[in-house]
Amino acid sequence: MSFRWKLILSFASFSILLFILQRVFAGFFNLSPLSSLFLGLVILLPLAYWTSVTLVRPIRRITEKATQLASEGLGEAAHIYSGHELGSLSKAIDEMGFQLRKKIDEISKERDYLETILKGMMEGVLMVDGRGRILMVNQALRNLLSLPSDVINRMPLEIIRNAELEGAIRQVIRQGKGMAFELDLPSSGGKTFEVNVVGISSPGQTGKIGEEIIGAIAVFHDITRLKELEKIRKDFVANVSHELRTPLTTIKGYAETLLEGALKEEVASQFIQVINRHADRLTKIVEDLLMLSKIESKELFLKKEVISVSELIHDVLDYVREGAEKRKISISLSEVPSSLSVNADRGHLEQVLINLLDNAVKYNREGGTILISAFRADPKEVRFSIKDSGIGIPEEDLPRIFERFYRVDKGRSQEIGGTGLGLSIVKHIVHAYGGRVWADTQMGAGSTFYFTLPTETKPLM
């Protein structure tokens, strides 16, 4: 029987019983109508209470269940198994709770999955709503831009301070068309980003004409290193072109003059010497470039052997002694223990020392000094140093002296020769053996170049 009919019959039965009891009490006990009515109510009230409890209890449980659902606490099922409408309503609410719990679990899993992806991304991600206010930023963007902790519900312009980014986000929200652009942010340490901004469509409208844009996502790709490498590549091409053009122009000019055949023998001999000198310079540039290419492409073969540091330095001095004597530069060697040795390729270490000593001679003053030292800095490392009494290196140039073709004084460097690759080769060879290289300088008082090698060298190739 349905709940509605139970309610109608209960009310009708209660009314009939009350009427019968009133007539009985009035006839048999000679009571007034009011007294009979009161006495009938006293007798029927427990029955009425039991009936109301029976009918109201399922309603109360359904109400409590609905309240739980409304307050997001799903709780347990109502478990009302009666066959009337209340039972059907209870089952419907239980099913709704089950489906709601299932959907919430699915959404929670998707949210956790999304958070895991965002946390693992190296790219920075910024999400805004339709008003342009920030909904979310991932940890990568916080780290890249050093963002404050309280960014939610603020405008991007407030925390990133870039009008171009703010304008791009507003344009995407307004027009719905994604865009990509490069962004330089001095506030982030001079980093450069490629930013892709796309609109967020309402659910179910993605790809539809006239879709409603309810927000935007901006993805920040840090391309600072790529831009630096691109600049190095461009500088390298420009420097190689310049370094090759100078001797080639000289060789071509002198060769054309010789071909005209209108020169005296002694003048022709001088021209041939100039051509030979510049040809040697071209050869040296090519050889140094090939050496750098081998090191950087991991093709440099490192043949390790135990090398006496004292013997190595004395052998290298023979290569630079003639140039030092021409400029009256004295070279001295601090006491090096005969037992001091390193495990490396002898040819590579000779090249490192020759390049450093050659620079110490070329950039020294006339009649200057060079001091060579080598000692065990700690049980795992041998440190070399070459100190000169030259003009020194400006502080602002010090970080770049190991770059290819970088010259502090370009005019003087061209005058004294050299390829501009010597220090770069030194750096790459030392790093290949797991060592370090650096320089200290004082303007007018000279420079000291240091490099270290592990005693048990483990090549990084």
pLDDT band at residue 27 under the 50/70/90 scheme: low
3-class DSSP assignment, residue 70: helix
Mark whether 319 and 287 lie in a shared domain: no
Q: Cβ atoms within 10 A of the Cβ of 230, count?
A: 11
More confident residue, 290 or 343: 343
CATH number, domain containing residue 253:
1.10.287.130
Q: Cβ atoms within 10 A of the Cβ of 317, count?
A: 17
Could you give the CA distance from residue 246 to residue 61 in angstroms, rounded to a whole number? Answer: 96
Looking at residue 202, the DSSP 8-state letter turns out to be: P
Does an H or E element contain 384, and which? strand 381-388
Q: Cβ atoms within 10 A of the Cβ of 368, count?
A: 20
- Mean pLDDT confidence for 377-396: 88
Mark whether 446 and 309 lie in a shared domain: yes
Report the DSSP pairing between strands 381-388 and 341-344.
unpaired
pLDDT at 97: 72
Mark whether 267 and 320 lie in a shared domain: no
Mark whether 342 and 291 lie in a shared domain: no
Mark whether 207 and 236 lie in a shared domain: no
Mark whether 273 and 334 lie in a shared domain: no
- Residue that is last in its domain, among 71, 102, 133: 102
Domain membership of residue 459 (yes or no) is no
Domain membership of residue 429 (yes or no) is yes
Total domains present in the chain = 4
Tens digit of each residue's pLDDT (9 = 90 or more) over 47-60: 565 666 566 666 66
Could you give the CA distance from residue 413 to residue 411 in angstroms, rounded to a whole number? Answer: 5
Mark whether 315 and 413 lie in a shared domain: yes
144 CA to centre of own chain: 7
Mark whether 329 and 417 lie in a shared domain: yes
pLDDT at 41: 56
Mark whether 289 and 376 lie in a shared domain: no
Q: Is the pLDDT of residue 3 over 60?
A: no
314 CA to centre of own chain: 48
For 66, the token pair is: 């609905």
- Residue that is last in its domain, among 241, 262, 296: 296
Mark whether 410 and 325 lie in a shared domain: yes
Mark whether 95 and 127 lie in a shared domain: no
pLDDT at 301: 62
Could you give the CA distance from residue 115 to residue 132 in angstroms, rounded to a whole number? Answer: 21
- Mean pLDDT confidence for 352-375: 91
> In terms of residue numbers, what domain contains 232?
228-296
Evaluate whether 223 touches 252 at the Cβ level (below 8 Å).
no
Mark whether 323 and 446 lie in a shared domain: yes
Report the DSSP pairing between strands 191-201 and 213-222.
antiparallel
Q: Cβ atoms within 10 A of the Cβ of 220, count?
A: 25
Domain membership of residue 32 (yes or no) is yes
Tens digit of each residue's pLDDT (9 = 90 or more) over 115-143: 777 777 888 899 999 898 998 888 888 88
- Mean pLDDT confidence for 267-284: 76
Evaluate whether 88 touches 96 at the Cβ level (below 8 Å).
no
Could you give the CA distance from residue 70 to residue 312 in angstroms, rounded to a whole number? Answer: 85
- Mean pLDDT confidence for 192-212: 74
Evaluate whether 430 touches 352 at the Cβ level (below 8 Å).
yes
Domain membership of residue 113 (yes or no) is no
pLDDT > 90 in the chain, percent:
16
Tens digit of each residue's pLDDT (9 = 90 or more) over 278-299: 777 777 777 777 777 777 666 5
- Residue that is last in its domain, among 222, 256, 273: 222
φ, ψ for residue 222, nearest 5 deg: -75, 110
DSSP 423-454: HHHHHHHHHHTT--EEEEEETTTEEEEEEEEE
Burial status of residue 74 (CB atoms within 10 A of its CB: 0-12, 13-18, 19 or more): middle
For the chain, the distance separating the N- and C-terminal CA atoms, rounded to the nearest angstrom, is 88
Does an H or E element contain 330, and which? strand 330-333
For 392, the token pair is: 């020194």
Evaluate whether 400 touches 239 at the Cβ level (below 8 Å).
no
Looking at residue 237, the DSSP 8-state letter turns out to be: H
- Mean pLDDT confidence for 73-88: 54
Domain membership of residue 442 (yes or no) is yes
Report the DSSP pairing between strands 179-185 and 134-137.
unpaired
